[in-house]
Structure formats: structure tokens, C-alpha cells
Amino acid sequence: MYPSSNVPKTFNIGLITGSQRIPRTGPQITTFIHTILITHLSAPSIPASQPAKFTLTTIDISTLSLPLFNEPGIPSQIHSPEAYAHEHTRAWSRQISSLDGFIFITPQYNWGIPAGLKNAIDYLFNEWRFKPALIVAYGGHGGDKAAQNLKTVLGGGIDMRVVENPICLAFGGRDITVKAATGKDLGLNPADEGALWSDKRGLIIAGWEDFVGLLIEGPPTGAPTRK
């Protein structure tokens, strides 16, 4: 699963919280995913000498202060952060350019992804292109429609290499759904076997390993440049 080399390669991964509403439960779920991955990467079964290292950075789109897309240029035609007209776009471009792959953590709104997440994605193109993506969706029934919507946007719209099977997390009963809708603590604790979604650790780690496979595979050679 990891590249064979004597020099460890470090992959910098962004975990993107796709919800902006207040109250919200997105940051709790991002922390839950982050904790599972950090625990997995520090497990004894992962040798310290492994030739691949990972840094995980959380990104909350609610902190970006991105207005509705207002760049005069077409993102697919822009290949440098400095070529954008606005500083908020230049800053976003630099941040995304510095990362090697992304885990998108999104709620489902009316069978789709939040407008703020779509807006943040649409600001850029080449910064996303060919990088791997893993989708984690959540909702009353698991957010599978949002996951498919986002997969179309990422894989079809901006040429990202998306893990085939998204991770869909369902709130289940009404009590948990109400807590999520009102931003209350869901008690997410991967170490507690009785906690919500603790039984999803294996699914999340399997998705991560598929994601790592795409990272190591790298972008396609000789891929055409959009004009």
C-alpha cells in the first residue's frame, strides 16, 4: 500500500468541513474522522519506517470568508495564485495548492451538497485537478445523494480522482437527528464501542487505504491541459 523508497514521502492531506450553518455538527464529524485516522496512522501495525508519511490539516470553509464566486477569469484558465483578481481567491488557491489530497466531509441538503461547499470548490480548478479525494457524507439517512452529487462535481467537473465508494454516515433515530440539527454534542468517540458510528471505523480506514492508493499512484501521465 505504501511506496517503496528509502526516503519517506510526506503527503499533506486536507480534511474539509463542508457545512457553514449555525448551529452545525460538521466540525464534530471532522474531528471524529481525524481522530480515527491519526489513531490508525500511529498504530503499531503501521511501521515507523514506512516510506510514506501523512500530515492531516483541517479546513473549515466557514472561516474562509469567500463571497459568491466573483472572479472575472475562468478558473480552468488560471495556473498561478497571483493570476486571480481577488486576495481571498489567491489565499484559497495557495492553501489548496499546498495539499496533495482531500477528504470532503459534507452534510446532505435537499439531496445535494451545501451551496458554500460548492462555491468554495468552484473558485478553483487546476489546484484540485488530478488530486485524490475521499467523500464522507452524513445525514438522517446517510447522505448518499449528497455523496453522489459531490462525486459528480469532483470527478466529472474538476477531474479529481475520487475513491469509488463514499463513506455515508446515518444519524439513524430521531433523537440523534435532532441533536445534529441543533448542533448538540453527538458523543462521537471512536474508542467507545457503544458510541455513535464507532462501528464505522473499519469502513473509514478502508476508505482511507483506497485514498492512499490513489495518492501513491499519482496523477495520470500525459494528461491533457484544458484550454
**Which pLDDT tens digit goes with each residue over 50-97?**
668 999 999 999 999 999 999 999 999 999 999 999 999 999 999 999
Is residue 1 domain-resident? Answer: no
Please tell me the distance from the alpha carbon of residue 22 to that of residue 6, in angstroms, as a whole number.
47
Give residue for cell 491533457: 224
Q: How many domains does the chain have?
A: 1
User: Over the stretch 157-166, which tens digit does the pLDDT of each residue have?
Assistant: 999 999 999 9
Predicted model pTM: 0.93
Is residue 141 domain-resident? Answer: yes
Is residue 5 domain-resident? Answer: no
Is residue 171 domain-resident? Answer: yes
Is residue 11 domain-resident? Answer: no
Contact call for residues 86 and 71 (beta carbons, < 8 A): yes
The enclosing H or E element of 212 equals: helix 201-217
Is residue 162 domain-resident? Answer: yes
Range of the domain at 129: 21-217
Is residue 3 domain-resident? Answer: no
Contact call for residues 206 and 55 (beta carbons, < 8 A): no
Is residue 98 domain-resident? Answer: yes
H helix intervals, 80-159: 87-97, 115-122, 144-151
CATH number for the domain harbouring residue 147: 3.40.50.360
User: Over the stretch 186-209, which tens digit does the pLDDT of each residue have?
Assistant: 999 999 999 999 999 999 999 999
